[in-house]
Structure 1
Amino acid sequence: MLAAGRSLARLNARHPWDHNEHFHRWVLANLPPRAERVLDVGCGRGGLVAALRTRVAMVEGIDTDPAMAALAASRHAGDPGVRIRHADFLAHDRGHDGGAPCPEHVAGPFDAVTMIASLHHMDLEPALERARELLRPGGRLLAVTLTRPAGLVDGLWDLGNVLTNPLMGFVSHPRAVRGPTRDQEGPQMPVREAELSLAAMRRRGERVLPGLRTRRREGFRVTLRWDAPA
């Protein structure tokens, strides 16, 4: 088992794939019709912001990490359809801890609120409530997140992801990568382990957003989609 694990790790290192960028297509395919203004929460280096700009007129990206916000702002400098800020999605609820000041809280409404690998960095219920407040009637929340395996079904799902992960990497990068990739250079995005199981997230999420749809996906990810009442 140890030898198999090391072999999988070597394959992953030689054929890496961006688990978050992989879901950009899912986000774009699920934007509400005629969306014009979108908020990307936890925008990181601005990859999803760039993808969204191919479809909508105005994209606002926020990130609590100042280095990530600066990178995203630099990437989109000069684009009048993009606004990047170092801001806390929940700042108007709980204030700041005395660190670097964040700008004023985000103001809606938005046609869509997107989150890729940022929801599990926040308290679930306040984050979903805040998204609900910022969406226009008929707007849509689209989130890709991580969960903590709990129970046999989750364990089997994780095992399946472990086994298919190298295959996904090989399809994305057939030629082996040597040395750090572009995204591995410079400031790195903050990482946090998921605390909630899928069952707990579903139960608590549906209390805040009735009709919330969740689905297990590849790359250890879970997608969430919710439509605000029209």
Structure 2
Amino acid sequence: MPFDHNDHYHRLLLRHLPRDCRTALDVGCGTGRFARRLAGLGLDVHAVDPSAEVLAQARAAAGEAADGGGAPRYEHADVTRLELPDRHYGFISCLASLHHMPFDTVTALREALAPGGVLVILGCYAEKGPADWSWGLAAAPVNAVARLAVGAWEGLRPAGTAPVKPPVAQPRMPLPRIGQEAAALLPGCRIRRLLFWRYLLVFRKEAAPTGA
């Protein structure tokens, strides 16, 4: 599918980037498009994914050497088994990756945030009721037009190697349940439904007291 729902929301996610942010973690980075955007803003980006195949494509796309500067630092790892540095990252992103792991993984991500840091989750939810279905119906024609437009543009480009597709998993948690879990684990977070079967969760960690 040429139209990528996650890429569509990159700008929205970047609006929540803290002003003085220097370090970022991209969880489930896939082929690294969002991680590269963060690195392009001058951030020190740690990008993690459990698929070695998609990481190989991410590294190739970045044109990085083994330790190339100015590019994300890619790591082949399962973030649920990774010991993340405490209070370190100014920005943590999860693009369509949280539903591949237990939801309480957000606890470790919360602890890895520096004071004043922001966690953004572009998540997928299971459609379970009339509200979900109505949003799906609203997204369908927009999705079809976007596919056609992007597909036509891609058709003008020279033929090349087909991109590697990241692993796919169907979400199991409906949006109301996600809201309940998030309220308990990420107090003060904000969630809103988006088109293209996505939701946006934003959590800002309390800043350190002045003089601390």
Q: State if a TM-score over 0.5 links the two structures.
A: yes
- With structure 1 as the length reference, what TM-score do the two structures score? 0.80
Q: Distance in 2 between matches of 1:182 and 1:206?
A: 47
Matched, 1:80 2:69: yes
The alignment status of 1:65 with 2:54, answered yes or no, reads no
Task: Indicate the RMSD between aligned Cα atoms, in angstroms.
Answer: 2.4
| Cα deviation code 1:77-136 (max 9, x no counterpart) | 1432421010111104xxxxxxxxxxxx333510010011101111101x1101101100
Secondary structure (helix, strand or coil) at the match of 2:9 reads helix
Q: CA deviation at 1:18?
A: 1.3
1:169 aligns with 2:147: yes
Q: Within 1, Cα distance between the matches of 2:42 and 2:24?
A: 7
Aligned residue type for 1:38? A
**Alignment map for 1:88-103 (pairs within 5 Å):** 88-92=78-82
**Which among 139, 148, 155 is matched to residue 117 of structure 2?**
139
Aligned counterparts of 1:217 and 1:181: Cα–Cα separation in 2: 33
Instruction: Determine the structure 2 residue equivalent to 1:3.
Output: none
Q: What is the identity percentage for the equivalent residue pairs of Structure 1 and Structure 2?
A: 28
> 1:182 Cα shift?
7.8
Distance 1:18 1:181 in 2: 19
Q: Is the CA contact (8 Å cut-off) linking 1:37 and 1:56 kept in structure 2? A: no
Q: Does residue 1:115 correspond to 2:94, yes or no?
A: yes
**Runs of 4+ residues deviating >4 angstroms:** 176-184
In structure 1, runs of 5+ residues without a counterpart are 1-12, 93-104
Instruction: Tell me if structure 2 keeps the 8 A contact 1:214–1:222.
Output: yes
The corresponding residue for 2:29 is: 43
Q: Is the 8 A contact 2:27 2:94 kept in 1?
A: yes
Check 1:209–1:188 CA distance in 2 against 1; reply closer, same or farther (3 A cut).
Answer: same
Unaligned 5+ segments in structure 2 are 208-212
